[in-house]
Protein backbone atom coordinates (compact mmCIF):
# COMPACT_ATOMS: atom_id res chain seq x y z
CA UNK A 1 0.00 0.00 0.00
CA UNK A 2 2.76 2.44 0.91
CA UNK A 3 4.63 1.57 -2.27
CA UNK A 4 1.53 2.28 -4.38
CA UNK A 5 0.91 5.58 -2.61
CA UNK A 6 4.57 6.52 -3.12
CA UNK A 7 4.34 5.68 -6.83
CA UNK A 8 1.20 7.80 -7.20
CA UNK A 9 2.80 10.76 -5.44
CA UNK A 10 5.95 10.35 -7.55
CA UNK A 11 3.85 10.39 -10.73
CA UNK A 12 2.47 13.81 -9.71
CA UNK A 13 5.91 15.23 -8.91
CA UNK A 14 7.06 15.83 -12.50
CA UNK A 15 3.93 17.77 -13.60
CA UNK A 16 4.13 19.94 -10.46
CA UNK A 17 7.81 20.72 -11.10
CA UNK A 18 7.02 21.52 -14.75
CA UNK A 19 4.20 23.81 -13.66
CA UNK A 20 6.49 25.71 -11.28
CA UNK A 21 9.15 26.14 -13.98
CA UNK A 22 6.54 27.30 -16.48
CA UNK A 23 5.02 29.76 -14.02
CA UNK A 24 8.35 31.35 -13.07
CA UNK A 25 9.41 31.44 -16.73
CA UNK A 26 6.18 33.15 -17.75
CA UNK A 27 6.65 35.78 -15.04
CA UNK A 28 10.11 36.62 -16.39
CA UNK A 29 8.77 36.72 -19.94
CA UNK A 30 5.94 39.02 -18.84
CA UNK A 31 8.49 41.47 -17.37
CA UNK A 32 10.49 41.33 -20.61
CA UNK A 33 7.30 41.92 -22.62
CA UNK A 34 6.50 45.08 -20.62
CA UNK A 35 10.05 46.39 -21.14
CA UNK A 36 9.83 45.78 -24.88
CA UNK A 37 6.41 47.42 -25.10
CA UNK A 38 7.76 50.52 -23.32
CA UNK A 39 10.74 50.63 -25.69
CA UNK A 40 8.42 50.21 -28.68
CA UNK A 41 6.25 53.11 -27.49
CA UNK A 42 9.32 55.31 -27.04
CA UNK A 43 10.57 54.44 -30.52
CA UNK A 44 7.18 55.22 -32.05
CA UNK A 45 7.23 58.63 -30.35
CA UNK A 46 10.73 59.27 -31.66
CA UNK A 47 9.73 58.37 -35.21
CA UNK A 48 6.63 60.56 -35.00
CA UNK A 49 8.68 63.48 -33.64
CA UNK A 50 11.35 63.11 -36.32
CA UNK A 51 8.71 63.30 -39.03
CA UNK A 52 7.85 66.90 -38.04
CA UNK A 53 9.16 69.53 -40.44
CA UNK A 54 11.05 71.53 -37.80
CA UNK A 55 13.08 68.49 -36.70
CA UNK A 56 13.86 67.57 -40.29
CA UNK A 57 14.86 71.15 -41.12
CA UNK A 58 17.16 71.35 -38.11
CA UNK A 59 18.83 68.07 -39.06
CA UNK A 60 19.24 69.15 -42.68
CA UNK A 61 20.71 72.55 -41.73
CA UNK A 62 23.18 70.91 -39.34
CA UNK A 63 24.46 69.00 -42.38
CA UNK A 64 24.90 72.22 -44.35
CA UNK A 65 21.78 71.97 -46.51
CA UNK A 66 19.84 75.02 -47.61
CA UNK A 67 16.34 75.54 -48.99
CA UNK A 68 15.79 76.24 -52.67
CA UNK A 69 16.27 79.94 -53.36
CA UNK A 70 18.51 80.56 -50.33
CA UNK A 71 22.08 81.70 -50.80
CA UNK A 72 24.82 79.87 -48.90
CA UNK A 73 27.84 81.69 -47.49
CA UNK A 74 31.11 80.23 -46.24
CA UNK A 75 33.07 82.28 -43.72
CA UNK A 76 36.70 81.23 -43.21
CA UNK A 77 38.85 81.88 -40.15
CA UNK A 78 36.22 81.74 -37.40
CA UNK A 79 37.86 78.92 -35.46
CA UNK A 80 39.24 80.40 -32.22
Q: Evaluate whether residue 55 is within a structural domain.
A: yes
The predicted model gives 35-61 an average pLDDT of 86
Share of the chain above pLDDT 90, in %: 24
Residue 78: pLDDT over 70: yes
* Highest mean pLDDT, choosing among 8-17, 41-50, 60-69: 60-69
Cα distances from 71 to residues 13, 35, 47, 56, 75, in angstroms, run 80, 48, 31, 19, 13
Establish if 12 belongs to a structural domain.
yes
Distance CA(79)–CA(61), nearest Å, equals: 19
Q: Is 74 contained in some domain?
A: no
33 with 27: CB under 8 angstroms? no
What's the whole-model pTM score?
A: 0.44
Which three-class secondary structure state does DSSP give residue 57?
helix
Q: What is the pLDDT of residue 41?
A: 94
Q: Which domain holds residue 17?
A: 2-62
Reply yes or no on whether the pLDDT at 80 is more than 70. Answer: no
Domain count, the chain: 1
Q: Is residue 16 part of a domain?
A: yes
Amino acid sequence: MTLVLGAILFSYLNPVVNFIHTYTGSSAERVQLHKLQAENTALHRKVKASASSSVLETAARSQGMIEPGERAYVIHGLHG
